[in-house]
A and B are shown apart, each in its own frame.
Chain A
């Protein structure tokens, strides 16, 4: 009898010890798992910071390139920045995922980079260009595309550079693409570019008002421009466009 109780007590003690050991083990495992979670969190944070830093330096590089083009062409002053802003506004209005793609803004900013290869005598000629000069001028999208070709992070941006002078009706250059063959970003850009050209003063003419610019762009829907893009553009209020035009 006594032996039995003693034995039982020993068993209970042993069992308790095992449970306690099990608890301690489980707790240690939990702590280990929490360490994993914490390390993952730190790794994620570091990676996110690096990605942000990388994106910032991409942006700075693209801006430097874009400024290099702008610096030469004094009278378009800030054209690339405005066009990029108009373009993003139109992309937003289209409700397209385009607006979320940073490459697109790069493409908008760099669209005229090929002009670095166009001689001053042609670029700044106030009179109409001869046919040969025009052909040379029209090479700038391809030259730009070739300059940027090896830069992977520009992705879709390179297509904007190449195709920004294409027309919806196929009468544009350099590839004579028509309709949806033209990348959407380039179709958006075409409207933004024309808007800026119309609403800023150039040596050969004064700026048109916003209402007039809307009219001209509206008339070119379905010929020069994608009608859907023009409709998206038409839905943007004057204040947004005016803010971009004045740079405020």
Chain B
């Protein structure tokens, strides 16, 4: 019975250079999950936001200007604020990219076009941790 009970709010950070994808994720998740949602448009912004909000969950696009998702992931892992966060990579390409992302410290993957239902379930299972 415990998994579905509210456990206090967490913070999730959504990082994608496409504002429309961010909007879709926010629209899908807002007030479903026990997370306050923040957005970033590239890797550099992601690091700034991460340091400010200490998210426990990060959705990270891979192909982004300035700092790409793989490098951002590695840097997030080095930050005390996001060292233990759950990092979910949003990937377009296949397994090769996943291997690199995993090496950089990613926990989970959603392949684009991702299933919004998978997204909802994933966030629901993670709860506010």
The chain A residues found within 8 Å of chain B, CB to CB, are 30, 33-34, 37-38, 40-41, 44-45, 48, 51-52, 55, 59, 100, 102
Contacts and interface: CB of A to CB of B under 8 A. Distances in A.
B4 A48 contact: yes
Given A44-B32, A44-B120, A45-B32, A37 B27 contact: yes
A34 B27 contact: yes
B117 A38 contact: no
Contacts of A59: 1
A31 to B, nearest CB: 10
Contact of A41 (B4, B20, B27): B27
Contacts of B97: none
Would you list the 10 A-B pairs with minimal beta carbon distance, nearest first? A37-B27, A37-B28, A44-B120, A34-B27, A41-B32, A41-B28, A40-B116, A37-B24, A38-B27, A45-B32
A55 B30 CA distance: 25
B119 to A, nearest CB: 10
A222 B30 CA distance: 52
7 contacts: A30-B20, A34-B27, A37-B24, A38-B27, A41-B32, A45-B31, A48-B4
B100 interface: no
Q: Which secondary structure characterizes the binding site on chain A?
A: helix
A52 to B, nearest CB: 6
Q: Which secondary structure characterizes the binding site on chain B?
A: helix
B29 A34 contact: no
Interface of B: 1, 3-4, 20, 23-24, 27-32, 116-117, 120, 124
Given A30-B20, A33-B24, A34-B27, A41 B120 contact: yes
Contact of A40 (B23, B30, B31, B117): B117
Question: Residue among B3, B30, B117, B120 with the most chain A CB within 10 A?
Answer: B120
A58 to B, nearest CB: 10
A48 B3 CA distance: 12
Nearest to B5: A52
Nearest to A102: B1
Given A40-B116, A41-B31, A52-B4, 15 more contacts: A34-B24, A34-B27, A37-B24, A37-B27, A38-B27, A40-B120, A41-B27, A41-B30, A41-B32, A44-B32, A44-B117, A44-B124, A48-B124, A59-B1, A102-B1
A28 to B, nearest CB: 13
A147 to B, nearest CB: 24
Nearest to B30: A41
A59 B2 CA distance: 13
Contacts of A102: 1
A100 B2 CA distance: 9
Contacts of B27: 34, 37-38, 41
A245 to B, nearest CB: 22
B3 A100 contact: yes
Nearest to B4: A52
Nearest to A52: B4
Contacts of B116: 37, 40
Contact of B29 (A30, A41, A52): A41
A59 B4 CA distance: 14
Nearest to B120: A44
B128 to A, nearest CB: 15
